[in-house]
Amino acid sequence: MHLNEKLHALIEQQLNVHVETTIMKRGWQYYMEDRVTSANEGSQDHLYGVVKGSDLYAVILDAGNLRYSSCSCPYSGFCKHMAAVYFQYCSQQEGGHTLAERSYFRLLGLSSASTYIKNQPVVKESPQVEQAPVIRQDPGDAGTAQEWLSWMEAMHGETWRKCRHSLHALQPLLSSLKGLSKDWEKPLQRLHWSSAILFVLEQAEHAINTVDSFSRYYHEMSFIRMAEPWVEHLYTLVSELTPAVMGPKEEAWADALVSRVKHWASSTERQLFDWEYMYLAFCEKLAENRGWFEGELDAMVRQTQEEAPETINKAFLHTAIGIMYFLDRQDTQAIEHFSQTSFDRSQKVMYPCAAQRMEEGNWELVSLWMGFLFERVYKGKNGRSVGPFVTLCRRADLDRPEMPIWTDYMTALLPHSYSELSDHWLDQKRYDEWADLQMLVGSRPEDVGAHALREIAKLAPRALMPMYHQSVEASIQTRNRQGYRIAVKQLKKLEKLYKSDKDADRWQLYIDGLVRKHQRLRAFQEELWKGKIVT
């Protein structure tokens, strides 16, 4: 019988956040004294159990939200009976009492049973008295970031070995590490939590390297999805940093984290997570401290000028420097460094630069960025790069329609930009240009959305006429009966357009010319007669 990993992780995370250490210890004692008579897994992530206290108490544990858990004892809130049921449930799985013991020590902030010998009145497994070894205590709130990361590595550095197929083993570890600082002051707690997240992400990086190359892709997708909330939480923590009021201890801690992330970001090895983006998130926030910004920028520039080993990713260095120059409003220098990077990798941080300058209304710099981006997008036209660039062009054309360069860019990127450009001209009610685009790419009326056709037929019928003329000729050129029938259907719609435009005379001239041009096509003439186009 295997422990439901999801249920285990959910409950342990909730216990770590909401339950006092005193309650946890009393629950452990109840478990050790065999007071739990039953503990079973139910539906929808629930545990059910019965505990002997001064009476028999029924317990329901809701793993999804501990607030909805209940116990029939008089105590309000989370009680020792609930903790005891959880430990009993753990002990009933493969691994027995050892599994329960490990969970208990994690919840106390200790690594494992091997570093701590329980001091309880009832001993469950071994009657002999053992000498307790020295506990390796965590550094506490007086510790530095490096001391904490070293402690995490020493105590939990082998956790990645349990993650061959999933990262579930890291969730309770992360919860227990966070729990160690739940009583700290918020600014320092924020940095400690960031350290814990970085540590488990590093564990995940170690784990993915044990996966064989054949199944690595599928494991990467699974690992990234599992770790996504951790990464998002890290970004939130970084955004909440306050560089302007940081004390020396916080500054040193933040520097240590930046150094750790930079180490991963500058590596040339294949990685699971986007460490480069994490570094840029730290960099953008900490740049609010001018002294830190100038020191970091100077160090990065010097590093690009030195002889770097092959293991250093210089493209990352130039990307980071480019962002720092952008933040300092030195856009020309930023673009110079971005030009030395791989566009496929750095484009996701360059598009926001152009978008921000648009937001600011600095069109001189917008033109600089868009010209630089266009050169690179045009060289390797693909959906990944064209889509975001054309989106920027559409936005620029809305704000500055008098500048034809935006339309020139979008047109030059056809056919990759067709969908965006078509939607843009339709939204702007530039129906003649929209129709010309459809003809350029060979779209027939039936290929275009009915809603668009109805809108243009009502507001600008003349814009659609060339498109229908082209479609009629293409259908006739098939030289078969089915093609002639399609041509007649199109002619009926074209007739309505001429009538909407109040130009019946020109319609008649067009039909007379069409009949004469194809007078030798007897089958076509028959279809014209059947469709009452001619009488």
pLDDT in tens, 58-99: 888 887 677 778 888 888 778 889 889 888 888 888 777 888
Two tokens, residue 504: 């019946």
> Shortest CA distance to 190 belongs to which of 146, 129, 127, 234?
234
Please state, in angstroms and as integers, the Cα–Cα distance from residue 87 to each residue in 1, 51, 191, following that order.
16, 12, 31
**The pLDDT of residue 123 is above 60:** no
How confident is the model over 302-312, as a mean pLDDT? 75
Taking the C-alpha atoms of residue 46 and residue 25, their distance in angstroms, rounded to an integer, is 22
Entry pTM: 0.66
**Pairing state between β 70-71 and 56-62:** antiparallel
Please state, in angstroms and as integers, the Cα–Cα distance from residue 272 to each residue in 216, 275, 276, 332, following that order.
10, 9, 12, 32
pLDDT in tens, 205-249: 999 988 877 778 888 899 999 999 999 999 999 999 999 999 999
In the structure, what pLDDT confidence band is assigned to residue 5 with cuts at 50, 70 and 90? low
From 135-149, 183-197, 485-499, the region with the lowest mean pLDDT: 135-149
Please state, in angstroms and as integers, the Cα–Cα distance from residue 302 to each residue in 297, 308, 317, 448, following that order.
9, 11, 10, 56
pLDDT in tens, 366-375: 999 999 999 9
pLDDT for 296 equals: 93
* Cβ contact 231:201 at 8 Å: yes
Residue with tokens 């100038």: 294
For the chain, give every domain's residue range. Answer: 5-115, 143-286, 347-411, 438-530
pLDDT for 133 equals: 39
Q: 291-318 burial, b if ≥16 CB within 10 A, otherwise e?
A: ebbeebbeebbebeeeeeeeebbebbbb
What is the length of the chain? 535
Residue with tokens 């545990």: 47
* Cβ contact 433:425 at 8 Å: yes
pLDDT in tens, 127-158: 333 333 334 688 999 999 999 999 999 999 99
